[in-house]
Structure 1
Amino acid sequence: MLFMSPRNHPPPPLSEPVRRIEAGPWAIELLPGCAYATRYVATQSAIGFAFDSQRGLHAIGSDRVLPFEALPNGLAFVPAGCDVLSESPRGGEYLRMVRTDGMALPAKHAFNNRIDPQAITLALRMRSALLRATAEDDWEAWALGLAERVKDHKRFSAHSQGSITAGRMRLLDEFIDAGLDGPLGVKEMAGLLGLSEGYFMRAFKQATGKSPHSYLIDRRLAKARALMRDSTARLTDIAHICGFNSQAHMTTLFKQRLGVSPAQLRGYSRP
């Protein structure tokens, strides 16, 4: 995804809600994956984290609107005063964090698509807590930790995708989404790109910060969450459609990855 931005499109009727929390000087929100279009001048510096692949158009600090294809698990930063235009027909889930007390954040220049293992760990932890709708977590420490990753971004070289380019990631996403109800695995994913399994696994981890197997689980969970927005779909049917061995298997992975069961998440998402 490009940078965190207030999505000033009303979400579609079946979208999950925006989840927000304030902790000390921090305002933190989890934006659901949905179509959006926004244009604004940032009044505050902000940190963002993209959980999903995303494609669309953007212009960041520029009047040139360009297409973008972003990889998942990317850390991003936009400074105060930066012009932002962004739109996507299917935006990915996104964590956005701003400091509300006027204190400057450590970075000065806009960036995105930074793959940082510590940022990934923190963002996943924060998402899980937001989905659980609890304020009894160490939010300020997590926010400070994520801000430190922004400060340290210069020690990362310019992001090199290697063999897993944004275009190849798009092919993988389409391939995975079309075959979630079947026996997908690393062999099939590597074969799609004409790469050996070993090379593919290393290149994928370098590009996204996660193993192909872990990413495949993420896609299954994302699909299940999308289907759960339809209150008529039974959890047993959703588990089958998304390639889980059983509803119990799906529930276990929901709790491990998201901190909530499917039934709990469905309840939290209802108006």
Structure 2
Amino acid sequence: MRLMNRRNRQQPPPPEPVRRIEAGPWAIELLPGCAYATRYVATQSAIGFAFDSQRGLHAIGSDRVQPFEAIPNGLAFVPAECDVFSESPRGGEYLRVVRTDGMALSGEHAFNNRIDPLATTLALRMRSALLRATAEHDWEAWALGLAERVKDHKAFSTHPNGSITGGRMRLLDEFIDTGLDGPLGIKEMAALLGLSEGYFMRAFKQATGKSPHSYLIDRRLAKARALMRDSSARLAEIAHVCGFNSQAHMTTLFKQRLGVSPAQLRGYSKP
């Protein structure tokens, strides 16, 4: 359960809309971070990519429902005709890529939490383009490239989490979320898990494909994006609540990480 402070006891603002584009035989969707519950039989194989850590319950290709922990930057795959049940009280931002022409994707086995640097690069490009609400990009090439990363090759086996287990990731998320309006750093995160700073940095990068500092920035940006749905909050106020040095600092990081400014994203997100 997420730890609460006086600020985040308020009802959260509505999530950003689902962003979708169709390009050639591909349909690409960016799903916002919010609670969800779904059950279906996959009519076609699908590629997924979790930008955020997620947790909940699922049963993939089985009738056994069990807890799941999705790590940030985790690549996932669901083959056609696979039974899927998944629910999460919080969810996380997620990219979903499917073919619309009936052609099956390579790969026979469902998986998640696969850390693949090239898949991360492609997914980040797709997210940035979807947030800018423009179709002038190499969508088909990106989708094909991502499809190559889900083939059943031993070289692409799921990366072990090592010392950063799902439980430790949950502790980090709760700790970060309750302290985003103040200074946070690697020293504090390592101490929370009882690890040295050097060991923590190496273990975190191994488990998620990104540095702890980069992850902290991503959590600040995610909270800012959620608060931006509240039209009564000024961007300067949001920057302060999310722990940025200034509104200009927040804007710079939005452009660097998401390819769009906070003002532009707020405009795109309005119904």
TM-score by length of 1: 0.94
Alpha-carbon distance between aligned partners in 2 of 1:152 and 1:255, rounded to the nearest angstrom: 35
Residue in structure 2 matched with residue 99 of structure 1 by the alignment: 99
Residue in structure 2 matched with residue 190 of structure 1 by the alignment: 190
Residue in structure 1 matched with residue 78 of structure 2 by the alignment: 78
Q: How far 1:193 sits from its partner (Å)?
A: 0.6
Question: For the structure 1 residues 13 and 239, does the alpha-carbon distance in structure 2 shift closer, same or farther, using more than 3 Å as the test?
Answer: closer
Alpha-carbon distance between aligned partners in 2 of 1:63 and 1:148, rounded to the nearest angstrom: 29
Amino acid at match of 1:64: R
Decide whether the 8 Å contact of 1:18 with 1:31 is kept in 2: yes
Alignment of 1:171-210 (within 5 A): 171-210=171-210
Q: How far 1:34 sits from its partner (Å)?
A: 0.7
**Fraction of identical pairs, as percent:** 90
Alignment of 1:26-37 (within 5 A): 26-37=26-37
Alignment of 1:10-89 (within 5 A): 14-89=14-89
Q: How far 1:167 sits from its partner (Å)?
A: 0.2
Q: How far 1:153 sits from its partner (Å)?
A: 4.9
Unaligned runs of 5+ in 1: 1-11
Decide whether the 8 Å contact of 2:32 with 2:92 is kept in 1: yes
Q: How far 1:54 sits from its partner (Å)?
A: 0.7
Q: What SS does the aligned partner of 2:119 have?
A: helix
Q: What SS does the aligned partner of 2:150 have?
A: helix
Amino acid at match of 2:125: R
Decide whether the 8 Å contact of 2:161 with 2:207 is kept in 1: yes
Decide whether the 8 Å contact of 1:32 with 1:93 is kept in 2: yes
Q: How far 1:69 sits from its partner (Å)?
A: 1.7
Residue in structure 1 matched with residue 154 of structure 2 by the alignment: 154
Decide whether the 8 Å contact of 1:254 with 1:260 is kept in 2: yes
User: Mean Cα displacement is larger for which, 143-152 or 116-125?
Assistant: 143-152
Alignment of 1:102-117 (within 5 A): 102-117=102-117
TM-score by length of 2: 0.94
Decide whether the 8 Å contact of 1:114 with 1:153 is kept in 2: no
Decide whether the 8 Å contact of 1:220 with 1:242 is kept in 2: yes
Q: How far 1:154 sits from its partner (Å)?
A: 2.8
Alignment of 1:190-269 (within 5 A): 190-269=190-269
Q: How far 1:227 sits from its partner (Å)?
A: 0.7
Aligned length: 260
User: Which ranges of 4 or more aligned residues in structure 1 deviate by more than 2 Å?
Assistant: 156-159
Alpha-carbon distance between aligned partners in 2 of 1:98 and 1:85, rounded to the nearest angstrom: 18
Q: Deviations over 1:130-165 (max 9, x none)?
A: 000000000011001101111265313443111100
Unaligned runs of 5+ in 2: 1-11
Residue in structure 2 matched with residue 5 of structure 1 by the alignment: none
Q: Deviations over 1:44-95 (max 9, x none)?
A: 1100000111111101011111111221110000011000001111110000
1:130 and 2:116 matched: no
